[in-house]
Structure 1
Amino acid sequence: MDIPFLGPWRKRHAAASAAKAPPPGPAREGLAELLAECELLRARAESADVTLDDTPASLEALDQLQPGWRDDPEELPWLGNDAGLYLGTVITRTVPGAQWRLAPDGTPLVALDSGREIDVVAAGTSWAEDGTPELSQMYAEVDEG
Protein backbone atom coordinates (compact mmCIF):
# COMPACT_ATOMS: atom_id res chain seq x y z
CA MET A 1 0.00 0.00 0.00
CA ASP A 2 1.40 3.37 -0.99
CA ILE A 3 0.75 6.11 1.56
CA PRO A 4 2.37 9.32 0.27
CA PHE A 5 3.13 11.01 3.59
CA LEU A 6 4.95 7.96 5.01
CA GLY A 7 7.93 8.33 2.68
CA PRO A 8 9.15 11.64 4.17
CA TRP A 9 8.22 10.49 7.69
CA ARG A 10 10.34 7.33 7.33
CA LYS A 11 13.29 9.33 6.00
CA ARG A 12 13.16 11.78 8.93
CA HIS A 13 12.90 9.03 11.53
CA ALA A 14 15.60 6.92 9.92
CA ALA A 15 17.93 9.92 9.93
CA ALA A 16 17.08 10.70 13.55
CA SER A 17 17.76 7.18 14.75
CA ALA A 18 20.97 7.00 12.71
CA ALA A 19 22.17 10.17 14.46
CA LYS A 20 21.50 8.71 17.92
CA ALA A 21 24.99 7.39 18.55
CA PRO A 22 28.12 6.57 16.63
CA PRO A 23 28.35 2.95 15.54
CA PRO A 24 29.97 0.57 18.01
CA GLY A 25 33.63 -0.26 17.77
CA PRO A 26 36.53 1.79 16.43
CA ALA A 27 34.37 4.68 15.16
CA ARG A 28 32.83 5.28 18.60
CA GLU A 29 36.20 4.96 20.31
CA GLY A 30 37.78 7.32 17.78
CA LEU A 31 35.08 9.92 18.38
CA ALA A 32 35.51 9.64 22.15
CA GLU A 33 39.28 10.09 21.86
CA LEU A 34 38.89 13.08 19.54
CA LEU A 35 36.42 14.78 21.88
CA ALA A 36 38.67 14.06 24.89
CA GLU A 37 41.65 16.01 23.51
CA CYS A 38 40.65 19.43 24.93
CA GLU A 39 44.15 20.82 24.26
CA LEU A 40 43.59 24.39 25.45
CA LEU A 41 41.94 23.34 28.70
CA ARG A 42 44.62 20.73 29.35
CA ALA A 43 47.35 23.34 28.77
CA ARG A 44 45.62 25.82 31.13
CA ALA A 45 45.20 23.12 33.77
CA GLU A 46 48.80 21.97 33.46
CA SER A 47 50.10 25.53 33.89
CA ALA A 48 48.05 25.72 37.12
CA ASP A 49 49.39 22.31 38.30
CA VAL A 50 45.98 20.67 37.90
CA THR A 51 45.99 17.10 36.61
CA LEU A 52 43.17 16.22 34.25
CA ASP A 53 42.84 12.48 34.74
CA ASP A 54 39.23 12.14 33.54
CA THR A 55 37.85 11.80 37.06
CA PRO A 56 35.17 13.77 38.94
CA ALA A 57 37.91 15.08 41.27
CA SER A 58 39.57 16.80 38.32
CA LEU A 59 36.30 18.66 37.64
CA GLU A 60 36.41 19.99 41.21
CA ALA A 61 39.99 21.13 40.63
CA LEU A 62 38.97 22.93 37.44
CA ASP A 63 36.21 24.73 39.33
CA GLN A 64 38.92 26.21 41.58
CA LEU A 65 41.03 27.70 38.77
CA GLN A 66 41.36 31.45 38.55
CA PRO A 67 39.33 32.44 35.45
CA GLY A 68 41.99 34.51 33.69
CA TRP A 69 40.57 33.43 30.34
CA ARG A 70 37.56 35.71 30.87
CA ASP A 71 39.80 38.66 30.02
CA ASP A 72 40.57 37.19 26.59
CA PRO A 73 37.53 37.30 24.27
CA GLU A 74 39.31 35.10 21.73
CA GLU A 75 40.25 32.37 24.20
CA LEU A 76 36.96 32.33 26.14
CA PRO A 77 34.80 30.41 23.61
CA TRP A 78 37.56 27.88 22.91
CA LEU A 79 38.16 27.23 26.58
CA GLY A 80 34.42 26.91 27.19
CA ASN A 81 34.15 24.40 24.37
CA ASP A 82 37.06 22.39 25.80
CA ALA A 83 35.57 22.52 29.31
CA GLY A 84 32.31 21.11 27.98
CA LEU A 85 34.06 18.36 26.06
CA TYR A 86 36.11 17.49 29.13
CA LEU A 87 32.95 17.35 31.25
CA GLY A 88 31.45 15.01 28.66
CA THR A 89 34.59 12.89 28.69
CA VAL A 90 34.45 12.48 32.46
CA ILE A 91 30.75 11.61 32.30
CA THR A 92 31.11 9.07 29.49
CA ARG A 93 34.07 7.41 31.20
CA THR A 94 32.61 7.21 34.70
CA VAL A 95 28.79 7.09 34.49
CA PRO A 96 27.52 3.67 33.40
CA GLY A 97 25.63 3.78 30.11
CA ALA A 98 26.61 7.37 29.25
CA GLN A 99 27.81 7.80 25.70
CA TRP A 100 28.60 10.47 23.16
CA ARG A 101 25.99 11.29 20.56
CA LEU A 102 26.11 13.83 17.78
CA ALA A 103 23.01 15.94 17.23
CA PRO A 104 21.92 16.39 13.61
CA ASP A 105 23.69 19.77 13.58
CA GLY A 106 26.93 18.13 14.79
CA THR A 107 26.73 19.30 18.39
CA PRO A 108 28.30 16.71 20.70
CA LEU A 109 25.84 15.60 23.37
CA VAL A 110 26.09 13.10 26.18
CA ALA A 111 23.22 10.62 26.17
CA LEU A 112 22.31 8.90 29.42
CA ASP A 113 20.49 5.59 29.91
CA SER A 114 17.53 7.56 31.27
CA GLY A 115 17.06 9.15 27.85
CA ARG A 116 18.30 12.54 29.02
CA GLU A 117 20.73 14.31 26.73
CA ILE A 118 23.17 16.91 27.96
CA ASP A 119 24.61 19.68 25.82
CA VAL A 120 27.97 19.63 27.57
CA VAL A 121 29.46 22.31 25.31
CA ALA A 122 26.75 24.77 26.38
CA ALA A 123 27.43 23.89 30.03
CA GLY A 124 31.19 24.33 29.53
CA THR A 125 30.72 27.65 27.78
CA SER A 126 28.51 28.90 30.61
CA TRP A 127 31.10 27.76 33.14
CA ALA A 128 33.90 29.55 31.27
CA GLU A 129 31.88 32.76 30.94
CA ASP A 130 30.54 33.13 34.48
CA GLY A 131 31.48 30.09 36.55
CA THR A 132 28.02 28.56 36.71
CA PRO A 133 27.08 25.86 36.74
CA GLU A 134 30.24 24.43 38.23
CA LEU A 135 31.54 21.46 36.28
CA SER A 136 31.56 19.29 39.40
CA GLN A 137 27.95 20.28 40.11
CA MET A 138 26.88 19.29 36.58
CA TYR A 139 28.63 15.96 37.03
CA ALA A 140 26.96 15.35 40.41
CA GLU A 141 23.52 16.02 38.89
CA VAL A 142 24.21 13.52 36.12
CA ASP A 143 25.70 10.91 38.42
CA GLU A 144 22.74 11.07 40.82
CA GLY A 145 20.22 10.09 38.30
Structure 2
Amino acid sequence: MKIPFLGNRPDKRGALDPEGIAGLLSECELLRSHAAGAGVELDDTAASLEALDQLLPRWRDDEEILPWLGNDAGLYLGTVIVRTVRGAAWEIRLDGQPVVRLASGREFDVVASGQEWAASGAPELSQLYGEVAEV
Protein backbone atom coordinates (compact mmCIF):
# COMPACT_ATOMS: atom_id res chain seq x y z
CA MET A 1 0.00 0.00 0.00
CA LYS A 2 1.33 3.44 -0.87
CA ILE A 3 0.18 6.43 1.13
CA PRO A 4 0.54 9.62 -0.93
CA PHE A 5 1.50 11.96 1.92
CA LEU A 6 4.47 9.75 2.79
CA GLY A 7 6.06 10.45 -0.57
CA ASN A 8 8.05 7.86 -2.49
CA ARG A 9 8.34 5.02 -0.02
CA PRO A 10 10.38 1.99 -0.87
CA ASP A 11 8.28 -0.95 -1.98
CA LYS A 12 9.58 -3.03 0.93
CA ARG A 13 6.61 -3.40 3.28
CA GLY A 14 6.97 -1.27 6.41
CA ALA A 15 10.16 0.40 5.21
CA LEU A 16 10.54 4.12 5.82
CA ASP A 17 13.83 5.94 6.08
CA PRO A 18 14.98 6.99 9.56
CA GLU A 19 14.41 10.68 8.86
CA GLY A 20 10.86 9.95 7.71
CA ILE A 21 10.14 7.98 10.87
CA ALA A 22 11.65 10.70 13.05
CA GLY A 23 9.58 13.35 11.28
CA LEU A 24 6.31 11.48 11.74
CA LEU A 25 6.98 10.65 15.38
CA SER A 26 8.06 14.19 16.29
CA GLU A 27 4.77 15.88 15.34
CA CYS A 28 3.09 15.46 18.76
CA GLU A 29 0.36 17.96 17.83
CA LEU A 30 -1.79 17.61 20.95
CA LEU A 31 1.15 18.05 23.32
CA ARG A 32 2.55 20.94 21.29
CA SER A 33 -0.86 22.62 21.34
CA HIS A 34 -1.24 22.23 25.12
CA ALA A 35 2.31 23.45 25.70
CA ALA A 36 1.86 26.48 23.43
CA GLY A 37 -1.37 27.36 25.24
CA ALA A 38 0.62 27.43 28.47
CA GLY A 39 3.40 29.53 26.90
CA VAL A 40 5.89 26.66 26.61
CA GLU A 41 7.87 26.31 23.39
CA LEU A 42 8.80 22.74 22.52
CA ASP A 43 12.15 23.13 20.77
CA ASP A 44 13.32 19.51 21.06
CA THR A 45 15.75 20.21 23.90
CA ALA A 46 16.16 18.84 27.41
CA ALA A 47 15.17 22.28 28.73
CA SER A 48 11.76 21.94 27.06
CA LEU A 49 11.25 18.65 28.92
CA GLU A 50 11.86 20.51 32.18
CA ALA A 51 9.29 23.12 31.12
CA LEU A 52 6.74 20.38 30.39
CA ASP A 53 7.31 18.94 33.85
CA GLN A 54 6.25 22.30 35.31
CA LEU A 55 2.88 22.48 33.48
CA LEU A 56 -0.29 22.22 35.52
CA PRO A 57 -1.73 18.82 34.54
CA ARG A 58 -5.24 19.97 33.58
CA TRP A 59 -5.45 17.10 31.07
CA ARG A 60 -5.75 14.55 33.90
CA ASP A 61 -9.40 15.54 34.32
CA ASP A 62 -10.18 14.55 30.73
CA GLU A 63 -10.15 10.78 30.26
CA GLU A 64 -10.42 11.20 26.48
CA ILE A 65 -7.34 13.40 26.14
CA LEU A 66 -5.16 11.73 28.78
CA PRO A 67 -3.99 8.69 26.75
CA TRP A 68 -3.41 10.77 23.61
CA LEU A 69 -1.46 13.40 25.48
CA GLY A 70 0.57 10.67 27.20
CA ASN A 71 1.35 9.12 23.83
CA ASP A 72 2.49 12.50 22.50
CA ALA A 73 4.58 13.12 25.64
CA GLY A 74 6.35 9.83 25.08
CA LEU A 75 6.96 10.54 21.42
CA TYR A 76 8.26 13.99 22.31
CA LEU A 77 10.60 12.52 24.92
CA GLY A 78 11.83 10.09 22.27
CA THR A 79 12.31 12.93 19.80
CA VAL A 80 14.48 14.85 22.26
CA ILE A 81 16.52 11.72 23.02
CA VAL A 82 17.04 10.85 19.34
CA ARG A 83 18.06 14.41 18.49
CA THR A 84 20.41 14.96 21.42
CA VAL A 85 21.84 11.61 22.59
CA ARG A 86 24.62 10.24 20.42
CA GLY A 87 23.71 6.92 18.81
CA ALA A 88 20.03 6.98 19.81
CA ALA A 89 17.57 6.09 17.05
CA TRP A 90 13.91 5.31 16.58
CA GLU A 91 12.94 1.72 16.01
CA ILE A 92 9.49 0.34 15.27
CA ARG A 93 8.80 -3.03 16.88
CA LEU A 94 6.98 -5.73 14.96
CA ASP A 95 3.85 -4.89 16.98
CA GLY A 96 4.06 -1.30 15.69
CA GLN A 97 5.24 0.24 18.97
CA PRO A 98 7.87 2.96 18.49
CA VAL A 99 10.83 2.69 20.86
CA VAL A 100 14.18 4.41 21.15
CA ARG A 101 17.24 2.21 20.84
CA LEU A 102 20.39 3.56 22.43
CA ALA A 103 23.89 2.97 21.10
CA SER A 104 24.40 0.49 23.97
CA GLY A 105 21.56 -1.62 22.54
CA ARG A 106 19.20 -0.75 25.38
CA GLU A 107 15.62 -0.25 24.24
CA PHE A 108 13.54 2.50 25.83
CA ASP A 109 9.72 2.41 25.62
CA VAL A 110 9.15 6.15 25.55
CA VAL A 111 5.40 5.89 24.92
CA ALA A 112 4.84 3.92 28.13
CA SER A 113 6.95 6.49 29.98
CA GLY A 114 4.97 9.36 28.48
CA GLN A 115 1.68 7.77 29.49
CA GLU A 116 2.90 7.31 33.08
CA TRP A 117 4.00 10.95 33.15
CA ALA A 118 0.68 12.21 31.80
CA ALA A 119 -1.29 10.13 34.31
CA SER A 120 0.75 10.79 37.45
CA GLY A 121 3.57 13.25 36.70
CA ALA A 122 6.16 10.73 37.77
CA PRO A 123 8.75 10.06 36.76
CA GLU A 124 9.35 13.49 35.28
CA LEU A 125 10.24 13.64 31.59
CA SER A 126 13.45 15.54 32.36
CA GLN A 127 14.44 12.86 34.88
CA LEU A 128 13.86 10.11 32.32
CA TYR A 129 15.92 12.04 29.79
CA GLY A 130 18.73 12.46 32.32
CA GLU A 131 18.80 8.71 33.00
CA VAL A 132 18.96 7.89 29.30
CA ALA A 133 21.50 10.59 28.46
CA GLU A 134 23.91 9.24 31.12
CA VAL A 135 24.04 5.74 29.63
Is TM more than 0.5 here? yes
Residue in 2 aligned with 1:122? 112
Distance 2:39 2:81 in 1: 22
Q: Which amino acid aligns with 1:40?
A: L
Residue in 2 aligned with 1:34? 24
Residue in 1 aligned with 2:6? none
Tell me how large the CA RMSD over aligned residues is.
1.2
> If you compute each CA radius of gyration, which structure gives the higher value, 1 or 2?
1
Residue in 1 aligned with 2:65? 75
Task: Please tell me whether residue 49 in structure 1 is matched to residue 39 in structure 2.
Answer: yes
TM-score after normalising by structure 2: 0.88
Consecutive unaligned residues in structure 2, runs of 5 or more: 1-13
1:101 offset after TM fit, Å? Answer: 0.2
In the TM superposition, 1:98-137 aligns within 5 A as 98-137=88-127
Aligned length: 122
Consecutive unaligned residues in structure 1, runs of 5 or more: 1-21
Task: Please tell me whether residue 59 in structure 1 is matched to residue 75 in structure 2.
Answer: no
Q: Which amino acid aligns with 1:96?
A: R
Q: Which amino acid aligns with 1:117?
A: E
Displacement over 3 Å in runs of 4+: none
1:27 offset after TM fit, Å? Answer: 1.6
Deviations 1:70-128 (A, max 9, x none): 00000000000000000000000000000000111010000001110000000000000
